[in-house]
């Protein structure tokens, strides 16, 4: 009986295997060849060429410029950047009608109202938008942090349930309910982060402007 792939990988990596497997490998040409192939494949993967990123430094630098630790010579850049944060947040919010004009966060409609694919798509858009919000301010408001942590951990718990049922065995209704809850939680999370970011952005503009 030849060795299993897992054992061959362990032997390639010089990890311990049981004595019988080790002595089989030492005496078996096929298993030895298998170990050699695994090592060759690993070498091939390590030699794959690197991939050059597009020029993203200007974007990163602009986003860093919002950092309140900017040195004096960079303050003018910061003033412009703080203004652009407010603009960015407002622009992001504009893509979600429920956040326009400081409207309160709305809860998702009843799960059955919205098709599953739409819920997934909305979830995806909200997540993308959340990622585009500026980093949380260096001085965090404790109440915001608590709310954000609570929302994130609820989303995580939903994700565990969704991930454990990728095949949708729990049925359409349950899937719809879970995704609806997810959209609702993401909405709330966006609401808190949005309010916080606008507040921080305006504050930065005022502070920098008064220098």
Partner 1 sequence: MSTFLDINVPGEWLQRARASDPVAQRSIYAALARPVYTLLRRLVLRPAVAEELLQEVFLEVLRNLGAYTGAGSFAGWVRSIAVSKALMHLRSPWHARLLPGDCQGAITAHAAPPGEGVDWGSDLERALNELPDVSRSIVWLHDVEGYTHAEIARLYERTASFSKSQLARAHAALRDALEPKFGDPECTFASKN
Torsion angle, CA of 140/142/146/148, rounded to 10 degrees? Answer: -30
The token pair that represents 205 in the structure block: 């503009």
By C-beta, is 8 or 197 nearer to Zn ion?
8
Q: Which residues contact 186 (CB under 8 A, 6 or more apart)?
A: 123, 126, 127, 130, 155
Q: Is 89 near partner 1 (CB under 8 A)? A: no
The pattern of x and - marking residues 9 through 28 that bind partner 1 according to CB under 8 A reads xx------------------
By C-beta, is 3 or 200 nearer to partner 1?
3
Q: How far is the CB of 18 from Zn ion (least distance, A)?
A: 14
Site for Zn ion in 9-48 (CB under 5 A): 28, 30-31
* Sign, Cα dihedral of 186, 191, 196, 201: positive
Phi and psi (nearest 5°) for 123?
Answer: -60, -45
Q: How far is the CB of 132 from Zn ion (least distance, A)?
A: 54
Report the residue from 67, 106, 141, 154 that binds partner 1 according to the rule CB under 8 A.
67
**Using CB under 8 A as the criterion, which residues of the chain lie in contact with partner 1 when the complex forms?**
1-6, 8-10, 30-31, 33-34, 37-38, 41-42, 44-54, 56-57, 59-61, 63-64, 67, 69-71, 74, 120, 123-124, 127, 131, 135, 158-159, 162-163, 166, 182
């Amino acid at each position: 009986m030849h060795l299993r792939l897992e054992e061959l990988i362990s032997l390639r990596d010089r990890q311990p295997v049981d004595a019988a497997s080790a002595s089989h490998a030492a005496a078996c040409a096929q298993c030895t060849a298998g170990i050699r192939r695994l090592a060759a494949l690993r070498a091939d993967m390590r030699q794959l060429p690197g991939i050059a990123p597009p020029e993203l430094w200007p974007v990163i630098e602009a986003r860093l410029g919002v950092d309140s630790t900017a040195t004096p010579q960079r303050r003018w850049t910061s003033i412009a950047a703080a203004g652009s944060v407010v603009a960015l947040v407002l622009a992001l919010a504009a893509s979600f009608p429920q956040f326009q004009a400081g409207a309160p966060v709305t809860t998702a409609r009843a799960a059955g109202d919205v098709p599953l694919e739409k819920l997934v798509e909305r979830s995806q858009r909200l997540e993308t938008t959340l990622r585009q919000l500026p980093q949380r301010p260096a001085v965090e408001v404790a109440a915001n942090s608590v709310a954000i942590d609570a929302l994130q951990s609820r989303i995580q718990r939903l994700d565990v349930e969704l991930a454990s049922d990728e095949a949708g065995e729990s049925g359409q209704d349950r899937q719809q309910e879970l995704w609806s809850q997810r959209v609702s939680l993401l909405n709330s999370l966006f609401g808190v982060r949005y309010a916080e970011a606008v507040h921080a952005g305006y504050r930065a503009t005022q502070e920098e402007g008064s220098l």
